[in-house]
């Protein structure tokens, strides 16, 4: 089991930086990570790439409950697991995220 140490948690903004039911992106090397905020202020982090064949961005999608609907093909992706829902198949990488007050911390290894 991998355990995150204190130095693995990177501050990437604050909760008010992200609109409810919206997203903001951060870069980690060559990877773009979308930080999503739900209507009830839960925060999730996924690689900003749909698992569909065209791999478009997830960050402009519609956030509803704990899902995001990607804008190009209307695939519904779980913010909790990164898995495509329904008949669609595929998964995107999830990143650990937590709040320290209103500061958003992203777990990076």
Instruction: Tell which CATH classification among 2.40.10.220, 2.102.10.10, 3.30.470.20, 2.40.30.10 matches the domain 12-107.
Output: 2.102.10.10
- pLDDT surpassing 90 at residue 53: no
Residue 5: band (very low, low, confident or very high) from pLDDT cuts 50, 70, 90: low
pLDDT digits (tens, 9 = 90+) for 61-79: 999 999 999 988 899 999 9
Give the separation between CA 90 and CA 51, rounded to whole angstroms.
5
- Provide the residue ranges of all domains of the chain, joining segments of one domain with +: 12-107
Q: What is the largest CA-CA distance in the chain?
A: 39
* Pair 49, 92: CB distance under 8 Å: yes
User: Percent of the chain scored above 70 by pLDDT?
Assistant: 94
Mean pLDDT of the region 24-52 = 96
- pLDDT surpassing 60 at residue 91: yes
Strand partners, 28: 31
């Amino acid at each position: 089991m991998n355990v995150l140490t204190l130095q693995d948690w990177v501050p990437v903004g604050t909760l008010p930086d992200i609109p409810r039911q919206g997203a903001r992106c951060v870069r980690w090397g060559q990877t773009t990570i979308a930080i999503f905020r739900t209507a009830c202020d839960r925060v999730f982090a996924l690689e900003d790439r749909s698992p569909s064949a065209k791999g478009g961005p997830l960050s402009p999608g519609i956030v509803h409950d704990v899902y995001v609907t990607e804008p190009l093909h209307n695939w519904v992706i779980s913010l909790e697991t990164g898995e495509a829902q329904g008949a669609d198949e595929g998964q995107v990488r999830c990143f650990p995220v937590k709040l320290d007050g209103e500061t958003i911390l992203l777990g990076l290894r």
